[in-house]
Amino acid sequence: VSRALQDSPLVQRQTKERVIAVAAKYGYSVNRHAQRLRSKRTNTIAVVLHLPPSYGRAVAAPFIFQLLADVSRALSIRHQDLLLCSAETDEAPAYERMLASKGADALIFLGQGAGTGWLDDLARTHAPFVVWGAVDDDQGFCAVGSDNLKGGMLAGRRFAEMGRENVLFVGDRAHAEIELRRQGLERGLKQAGRGVTIRDLSLADFSFESAYAVMQDFLQNGGERPDAVFAASDTIAMAVIVALQEAGLQVPRDTSVIGYNDIAYAAHFSPPLTTVRQDTHQGGTLLVEKLFQILDGAKPPSVKLPTELIVRGT
Amino acid sequence: VSRALQDSPLVQRQTKERVIAVAAKYGYSVNRHAQRLRSKRTNTIAVVLHLPPSYGRAVAAPFIFQLLADVSRALSIRHQDLLLCSAETDEAPAYERMLASKGADALIFLGQGAGTGWLDDLARTHAPFVVWGAVDDDQGFCAVGSDNLKGGMLAGRRFAEMGRENVLFVGDRAHAEIELRRQGLERGLKQAGRGVTIRDLSLADFSFESAYAVMQDFLQNGGERPDAVFAASDTIAMAVIVALQEAGLQVPRDTSVIGYNDIAYAAHFSPPLTTVRQDTHQGGTLLVEKLFQILDGAKPPSVKLPTELIVRGT
DNA sequence: TTGAAAGCGCTAACAG
DNA sequence: CTGTTAGCGCTTTCAA
């Protein structure tokens, strides 16, 4: 029966059909636990979501959910179950246990949070996993992410072309990805050869609310007003624009703003948001592909996905 | 060992500690498949996401992801694993098989799509599941959802108070939830005792893009311009507003617009969106609570969550 | 090509 | 309170 239902070539077609018919008749279906216990394959991938701590009521992390949807699609093509976990802990042992107990064959981390030391710890245990986030050659693990440095440079160059000279960066530089975007900004600006000031506005999280509050405060007490703002995410960019407008500045006339991610709402914001796009569809596919290479014993390199400046109205 | 690690009261504290220490020393952890095979409990709930078919690149379903996050939290409190499935099929047998093979103990459907007949089919098999969506006493299953009729009435009454007389409803009435909102709108308007026209604009999906296209077409060829629009979702409302503004109408001066869901971006839209809020946090908690009552053999009634009109700038 | 049987790692019933 | 053991439902090796 087992062989027939797995479509083994050892079983004659006739016999298979007979077995399948009987199984259907009696509503039989294999018990996955017994199957997995015996075969020692779980066929489950755990996806760990690193949701930003939600400020107030709503979890606004459209980018990460978009990525989740794309990963889910890629996994279902490979007939893998998706075990969804929220990152409650940033410690390697919790994930080691999840693998040891066969909760999943491997892990995908979406959004790596601020510190990444524990990911290196996890890599040292030879746990099979991939990460969406910053790509760095020193990492002991395989990461897939947008080319944040390049993305930042795109923004920097654009500001330079527009003759902007007083640039503000808004975002939490403790995140490796954000820090790279910041460095790219600087490089893009410098390549254009202009003497430019970059100031930084630090944020505790990615929420609209905290970005709005911090930006408002900055505009009231921060001295000179910036003629360009590069935001670490689209949500932050939207908050920045609202604060700028309320302070009497026009976007993009007085201040030009660029966001990051190109979430669905960016195009529908008013004015439509100029932003750096990352291709989550490709990202999800690649993440899963790399993970299976790892499960097959390979050690695939990290990838930086190309990045594109979508020029709209800001 | 088994008893010690499960913290059974049959085992002495000393013995437990000794067992735990040895387990830790050798990095032992229980094999979940063996555990589940033997104990016949899966401790996994499958969550089936009914994502609207994505138009173009991005899956913009912030409401459903918000709900997913809240369900995830509620499940993790009960130490249940969350198996994420995308609804690839709207047929009962696929889900019966998932339960029969012990892939999950029960199911949660988030967003029930257009037809719901198959949910009744599934209920007839006594499969344990709950649904987020329209609540209807004739349903053979337990549903949790916002009070869509009431939500629609809130919008209708508001329009009536403002003296609006030429109302447009935009949304796909084939969805039970949407149809209820539409009925509520009518009732709210009628209660105010005014002679009011309601026209309908039908939509194939929930995307910004298709709502925008349909609305644009309507404004060009649809005869009289509406002085009020009730949209089936916030995303649709945003598309409607953009189309209205491009057609030279001012919101809310010429046309008043109300959305549904109060997604995070509603408050940050320009102008900030007036909308009907549903409490997803409570929704997620309730969904899980009801599900466990069902697993305990009860037959809990469906619930309609209270609904609130959030008056902002449209 | 099919059948028989061992054993995956655990829990729970039973005996002590 | 602790130890022993049967058996959950499957896959796979071995024998026929």
How open is the CA angle A218-A223-A228, to the nearest 5 degrees? 70
Q: Which residues of B touch A60 (CB under 8 A)?
A: 62, 264-265
Name the pTM for this structure.
0.91
pLDDT in tens, B51-81: 766 545 555 678 888 899 999 999 999 999 9
B97/D3 CA-to-C1' distance in Å? 39
A1 touches strand C (CB under 7 A): no
Instruction: Give the model's pLDDT for residue A58.
Output: 54
Mean pLDDT value of segment A46-69:
76
- Measured N-to-C along each axis, helices A62-77 and B62-77 cross at an angle, to the nearest 10 degrees, of 80
Residue bearing tokens 């290479």? A293
Q: Which amino acid is at A18?
A: R
Measured between CB atoms, which of B73, B238, B264 is closest to A208? B264
Q: Which residues of B touch A215 (CB under 8 A)?
A: none
Instruction: Give the model's pLDDT for residue B122.
Output: 92
Query: Does residue A252 have a cis peptide bond before it, meaning omega lies within 30 degrees of 0?
Result: yes
Give the Å distances, CA to CA, from B87 to A62, A66, A81, A185, B84. Answer: 20, 16, 13, 41, 10
Instruction: Give the model's pLDDT for residue B59.
Output: 59
Mean pLDDT value of segment B11-33:
89
Q: Which of A77, A265, A281 to mutate to test the interface with B (most CBs of B within 10 A)?
A: A265
Residue of B nearest to A39 (CA): B33
**What b/e sequence results for B151-190 when a residue is b if at least 16 CB atoms lie within 10 Å of its CB, and e otherwise?**
bbbbbbbbbbeeebebbbbbbbbebbbbbbbbbbbbbbbe
A22/D15 CA-to-C1' distance in Å? 27
Sorting pLDDT into bands at 50, 70 and 90, what band is B224? confident
Return phi, psi of residue A282, to 5°.
-65, -40
Give the Å distances, CA to CA, from B122 to B68, B119, B125. Answer: 22, 5, 5
Sorting pLDDT into bands at 50, 70 and 90, what band is B260? very high
Residue-averaged pLDDT of chain A: 90
Q: Name the nucleotide with the smallest C1'–CA separation from B101.
A: D9
DSSP E strands in B67-159: the ranges are 81-86, 106-110, 129-132, 142-146
First to last CA, chain A: 64
Q: Which residues pair with B110 in a beta bridge?
A: B49, B132
Give the Å distances, CA to CA, from B291 to B92, B104, B190. Answer: 18, 13, 38
Instruction: Give the model's pLDDT for residue B81.
Output: 96
Q: Name the nucleotide with the smallest C1'–CA separation from B10.
A: D1
Q: Which residues pair with A110 in a beta bridge?
A: A49, A132
Chain D nucleotides covered by protein, CB below 7 Å: 1-2, 7-12
Residue A87, pLDDT > 80, answer: no
pLDDT in tens, A34-52: 999 999 999 999 999 987 6
Q: Which amino acid is at A173?
A: R
B125/C1 CA-to-C1' distance in Å? 38
Q: Which residues of A touch B31 (CB under 8 A)?
A: 37, 101-102
Selection from A234, A45, A139 nearest residue B268 by Cα? A234
pLDDT in tens, A132-191: 998 988 888 999 999 999 999 999 999 999 999 899 999 999 888 999 999 999 999 998
Measured between CB atoms, which of B37, B100, B268 is closest to A242? B268
Selection from B268, B205, B177 nearest residue B59 by Cα? B205
Nearest protein residue to nucleotide C12 (CA to C1' distance) is: B39
Contact assignment for B83 to A85 by CB distance below 8 Å: no
